[in-house]
Chains A and B, each alone.
Chain A
Amino acid sequence: MKRLLLLLAAVLLAACTSMGKVEGEQVINERLVVHVPGGWNRVVDRAEKAPYESWTQEGIPLDHLRLWGAVRPGQPLLTKWATFSRAEDAKERRVPTFRTGLTPEKLVRLFEEVYATAGTVTITRVEPTLFAGHKGVRFEFTLARRSDDLDLRGVAWVAVRPDPYWGEELYAASFVAPKLSFYERLLPMAEEVVKSARVRNTAI
């Protein structure tokens, strides 16, 4: 019976996601401002407080554009892990967490770990970039996803900005879609959003 209840709880939780259309100016975590010309769908998972926003064109199993705004040192980039539980009294697992002083390579590694929880990640290109008006790193990768045996392609932009109070803040975007047809078709729409990114300064 207990097991049945667990299963039921899982089903109910799964039903807790909702979708809404996003258009025009959007602000992520009160700081990352993007302009959305085409229209995306925002997916909200009420079961977790993700440190990023998830948007999609064709639905989350296919493509997603994730946006991280003003992540502070000590904040994880991910809160929910896809697989594998742990003993109840075991130490907390390590979660990819932003900290100050990370080199571009270490920033790439942080996001590689985020996606490695879903499958096998291979970085295929790394280059300097500007994101949200700040120097950063852009990288491309492939992801062989375990949950559905899908070959995906991805790209991410990561920039770190000095902050007088926190030391540094991280801003990032990543776009992932099936290698076959979807990635190339949807990438320009993701790039449009990414290009419009800027940081909103807060008056403290």
Chain B
Amino acid sequence: MGMPMTDRRAFLRSACRHCVGLGALGGLSAFAADLSGVKVPQRFGRPAIDTDEGGLWGLMDREEQRLRRSPLTIHDKAFRQYLQDIVCKLAGDFCPDIRVYPVRVPHFNAMMAPNGMMVVWSGLMLRAQNEAQLAAVLGHELGHYMERHTVEQLRAQKEHAVLSTLVGLVGGVGTFLGQISLSASLFAFSREHEGRADRIGVRLMKHGGYDAREAANVWDNLLQEMKVTGGKEAGKSGDMFDTHPTSAGRRDELLALAGGDAGDKGEARYRQAIAPMRLGWLQDEVKRGQYEESLVLFDRMLARDAKDAEVLYARGEVYRLREDGGDVERALADLDRASRLPRPPAETFRSLGLIHKERNDRVAAAQAFQSYLAQAPQAADAAMVRSYLTEFQP
């Protein structure tokens, strides 16, 4: 690690001109807080190959090939279809032109390429509380696509486009400067584009029957999570906010656009759709090792559903690993609670066993380890756990 690597994904990011919340928020207020002037453009075809737009599409096609083969792309067929269905519900006529790729990266981001390739990271999908929130992000991305913002940016910033090629060639630049921040500062959508994408997004949500007020909650939740890192600039730059600067202002604008009508939130449907992948995403979040940020997320998820065994396990893990004052007791409480709920992750019992073992409570440890092995006899550490059980025998 740390060595320069050919990072073509950095190029993809830059050429994709991301996205979700790029551009400062001041620009939003320039628009009237209603949707009367928002028109969804007509569907367009593939541009001629000898145009700048055609060239950009060609480049993105190549990246899309790469993405299809990437081990990080989530291939679960049912889930891919679920995402595609949401896009079609939002995009109407544009439906056949958009391809969504869920990718396993534990951060909050989504990108829209001009050729119709849309990328959504698992960190974003873990954080979305319902289908309407995910639809808010997808709708915003579709807004960029429908109005062909990338091409407009390309034409407006020839100089930057040259730089984007450089970034692609050099690769590894991100290893030093943070790929995201570099490309974000070079390739941010304009404030106007961001505002327009927000407005189209809300329009598409309402058209699709979603509760458009959820768009505001996406930013609200993200801001709460980032506040924990402190600093006056929290929520403006750093981590995901290099690409998603947000503020209370944006939330209010989105709420005003959404109006008062309630719509479909689709929470149960969403939980069911992500269920097969969710434990892995939670584990990815814990493995980031940014315990305080993860705790804000897990607290929020548990406030919504206190009997969520997977999240109780994940929060217990964070406490168990952090080991600050009182953390072991907190870990025990969460893990014990999870273990008594229907279908807790098998790892709940391993973590319980490890805590009891450290506290020299052999009986409780043995009981937990046996439950773990019964649920996951093929686990990577099964042999290790069996050796503990042997040790415990008098």
Chain A interfacial positions (CB closer than 8 Å to B):
3-4, 6-7, 9-11, 13-14, 17, 43, 45, 47-48, 50, 54, 60-61, 78, 80, 82-91, 93-96, 103-106, 109, 112-113, 116-121, 123-128, 137, 139-140, 144, 146-151
Contact = CB atoms under 8 A, between A and B. Distances in A.
Contact of B6 (A3, A11, A91, A148): A148
- Report, nearest first, the 8 A-B pairs whose CB atoms are least far apart: A87-B238, A85-B178, A89-B231, A86-B238, A144-B71, A149-B70, A126-B381, A87-B233
Interface stretch (B147-155, B162-170, B253-261): B162-170
A116 B289 contact: yes
Which of B66, B167, B289 has the most C-beta atoms of chain A within 10 angstroms of its own C-beta? B289
B163 A3 contact: yes
Describe A's contact surface by its main secondary structure. mixed
Interface stretch (B23-31, B179-187, B192-200): B179-187
Size class of the contact patch on chain B: 35 or more
A47 B238 CA distance: 22
A145 to B, nearest CB: 8
Interface of B: 1-9, 66-67, 69-72, 104-105, 107, 163, 166-167, 170, 172-182, 185-186, 229-234, 236-242, 284, 287-292, 321, 354, 357-358, 380-381, 383-384, 387
Contact of B2 (A48, A85, A126, A144): A48
A85 B236 CA distance: 12
Q: Which of A14, A54, A61, A147 lies at the interface centre, i.e. has the most chain B CB atoms within 10 A of its CB?
A: A147
9 contacts: A3-B163, A14-B175, A83-B175, A84-B242, A93-B229, A104-B384, A118-B1, A147-B5, A149-B71
A146 B6 CA distance: 11
B179 A83 contact: yes
A83 B3 CA distance: 12
A112 B3 contact: no
Contacts of A17: 3-4
Contacts of A113: 287-289
B6 A61 contact: yes
Given A14-B170, A124-B380, A144-B104, A87 B1 contact: no
A121 B383 contact: no
A87 B229 CA distance: 9
Given A45-B3, A106-B321, A125-B380, A7 B234 contact: no
B1 A78 contact: yes
A39 B253 CA distance: 63
A50 B3 CA distance: 11
Contacts of A84: 107, 178, 180, 239-240, 242
A112 B287 contact: yes
Nearest to B67: A149
A163 B2 CA distance: 30
Contact of A90 (B1, B234, B284, B358): B234
Nearest to A85: B178
